[in-house]
Chains A and B, each alone.
Chain A
Amino acid sequence: MKVLVPVKRVIDYNVKVRVKADGSGVDLANVKMSMNPFDEIAVEAAIRLKEAGQVDEIVVVSVGVAKAQETLRTALAMGADRAILVEATDDVHTDIEPLAVAKVLKALVEEEQPGLVICGKQAIDNDMNATGQMLSALLGWSQATFASELAIEGESATVTREVDGGLQTIKVKMPAVVTVDLRLNEPRYASLPNIMKAKKKPLDTKTPSDLGVDVTPRLSVVTTTEPAARAAGVKVGSVDELVLKLKDEAGVI
C-alpha cells in the first residue's frame, strides 16, 4: 500500500510571532520556519507502518512556496520515499486555505492512488484543524481524526481518538484519511547520512493549475491585530498573602 502524507511549512513553534504594525499579517521576515509539528508525527507514523511491512511507499506532499522543498527534504530524510511540491503562491502572506489544499490533495490522490492519507491534526499557524476532514469529504472516504493509536488490519483501520471526554476507538473502512494527535508517537530525528541520501530522492514540482484546481481564497483577511495584553500582575511573598489577595482583592475564593 502507498501512503500520502501532506506536510506544511510553518513558523517554528518556538518563535514568538509578531503582528505587523499595519495590520496586514504576521511578520515572516527572517523567521525560523519548520515542518508543522503534527506533520512530523504523521511522517513518523507512515515510516513505522513501512517498517512493519504494511506500507511500501511513502509520498510526502507540500502545497506552498518554493522553500517548502526544505520541509519535503526533511520528511525524505526522516524516511519518506518521494516528494511532490505543489507550488501555489509566492506570497507567503496569503496563506493557502485548507479547502484549496484539500482540493489539491484530492487531485493528487486520484493520480497516486494511495490506500491511506495521514495528515496532521492542525497546522500551528492558521490553527484551522480542517484539511484532513475536508479531503476525506471530497474523496467520499472515511475519516479518523485526532489519532493517538493507529492499527491497520486488512481492509480497515482501528484508530483511538483523543476526544473531549477522554478516548474513543473507531474502526474505519480503507481507504481512509487519518489525522494525528500529539501522543501517537515521538518523531525521529534525521541522521546525517539520511539527510545526504534525501538530497537524491525524487522531488517533483507541479502547480494547482496542472491539477486543475482553483485555489482562490474564500476568506478574505480584513485585518490582523495583536490580542489584548494582560495588565501586569504582582508577585506575592507567601501563601498567606496569596490567600488574602484571592479573598479580599480578587474576590474569587
Chain B
Amino acid sequence: MAVLLIAEVSGGTLAVDATAKALTAAKAMGDVTVLCASAGCGGAAEAAAKLDGVSKVLCADDAAYGHDLAEPLADLVVGMAGDYSHIVAPATATAKNVMPRIAALLDAMVISDVTAVVDADTFERPIYAGNAIQTVKSADATKVLTVRTATFDAAGEGGSASVESIAAAANSGISEWVEDKVAASDRPELTSAGIVVSGGRGVGSEDDFKMIETLADKLGAAVGASRAAVDSGYAPNDWQVGQTGKVVAPELYVAVGISGAIQHLAGMKDSKVIVAINKDEEAPIFQVADYGLVADLFDAVPELLEKL
C-alpha cells in the first residue's frame, strides 16, 4: 500500500505536530510519501523528511498553493493520485476544506476525522458529536481520509527521506486569496498544548475573559472557549473547542464557566485530567470532570492565580 500524506504547511512552515500525528496513522496503512505544497515550502519539506517513517517527500513550491485554496491543491493531488492507495491529511481546517474535494474528483467517499485505523480499508470515526463511534469499511479504490490528531501520538524524528521537487498543476484561477486575519501569539497552539484553560459564557465579558488568559499564561497553557463565549465576542473564533470547533486532548483541561453541552464535550472529553469550575453544582460538565469545584469563578480564579 502506498500512502500520500498531505503535510500541514502554514506560511511556508511545517506544522510539525499535526503532520507527525497524522503520519502515525498513515504508517498503519502503508509506505508513506509526504506532499508539501505551499509557496516557499523547501524548509517545510526538509522538516518533513526528518520525521520518522517517511519514505519520500515531494515539494510543490508554487504561489498557487500559498494560501490553502482548495481548487489548485485538489487539482495537484488528483493528478498524482494514481500512484497511491490512500490519501491522508490531519483534520485541520485546510484539510477539511480540500480533502472532500479531492475525494469527489476521484469518485471516492471521504472518511472524515478517523480516530483509529483497524486495517487498510477499515476505520473508526466519531459521529453525533462523539456520542457514538462508527467502524466503517471503504469499498473505494483510493481511500481519502482525514485523521483526528488528538487521538494519535506524534511520530518522532530521526528520518532522512529524500526530497524531490515536483511541478505545479495548472491553476483554474476560480478563487483568489484576499487577506488573512490571524492573531500572532506566544501561547502554545490549542490543538497541541499540554494544558488548555477554557472560558465560557459564565465569564461574562471580553474584559473578564482576560482573567482566563492570565490563568492560562500562569500554567503555560493554550486558551480555549465555548461557542457561547465566541458568539458573545469574549474570544476569537479559532479558540472554539467542540463538535464544530477544535478537538483537544491535553494532559489538563480547565473549564471555567462552561456548562458542558454535548457539543462542547465533543471537543475535550478525551483530555487526561478535566477540571471544572462552575457555580451550578448540577452543570453537566461535572459529569466528565475529574475535579469539580462548585464556586463563583470570580472568587475561584483570582484565588487560583494566587495559589499556583
Contacts and interface: CB of A to CB of B under 8 A. Distances in A.
Given A99-B103, A124-B243, A219-B136, A143 B292 contact: no
B275 A242 contact: yes
A133 B100 CA distance: 6
A19 B10 CA distance: 39
Interface string A74-109: 000000000000000000000001110010000000
A253 B220 CA distance: 10
A220 B137 CA distance: 5
A250 B251 CA distance: 10
B63 interface: no
Interface residues of A, number: 78
Contacts of B219: 253
Contact of B274 (A11, A140, A217, A233): A233
Contact of A133 (B101, B132, B174, B181): B101
Interface in A130-149: 130-138, 140-146, 148
A200 interface: no
B2 interface: no
Range, interface on chain B: 35 or more
A163 interface: yes
A127 B128 contact: yes
A250 B271 CA distance: 13
Contact of A243 (B139, B172, B290, B307): B307
Given A218-B140, A239-B307, A253-B252, A168 B180 contact: yes
Contacts of B295: 239
A143 B133 contact: no
Interface of B: 10, 67-71, 74, 92-94, 96-105, 107-113, 122, 125-140, 172, 174-183, 191, 195, 219, 227, 230-231, 236-238, 243-244, 246, 251-252, 262-263, 269, 272-275, 281, 286, 288-295, 300, 303-304, 307-308
11 contacts: A17-B129, A121-B244, A162-B93, A164-B238, A166-B238, A169-B180, A182-B227, A224-B134, A230-B269, A235-B286, A240-B307
